Amino acid sequence: MIAFTSKVLYTPLRRIDNALVSVENGVVVSVASRNDSEAAPNQPLTEFGDSAIVPGFFDVHIHGAVGCDVMRGSAAEMKKFETFLARHGVTSYFPTTVTASLDVTLTALERLAGAIENEISHPE
CATH pick for 2-53 out of 3.40.30.10, 3.30.43.10, 2.30.40.10, 3.40.190.10: 2.30.40.10
Q: Give domain limits for the chain.
A: 2-53, 57-121
CA-closest candidate to residue 57, choices 31, 3, 111, 94: 94
pLDDT in tens, 54-93: 999 999 999 999 999 999 988 889 999 999 999 999 999 9
Q: 65 has which bridge partners? A: 68
**Confidence (pLDDT) at 124:** 65
Distance in angstroms (rounded) separating the CA atoms of residues 13 and 35: 19
Residue 20 pLDDT > 70, yes or no? yes
Residue 99 pLDDT > 90, yes or no? yes
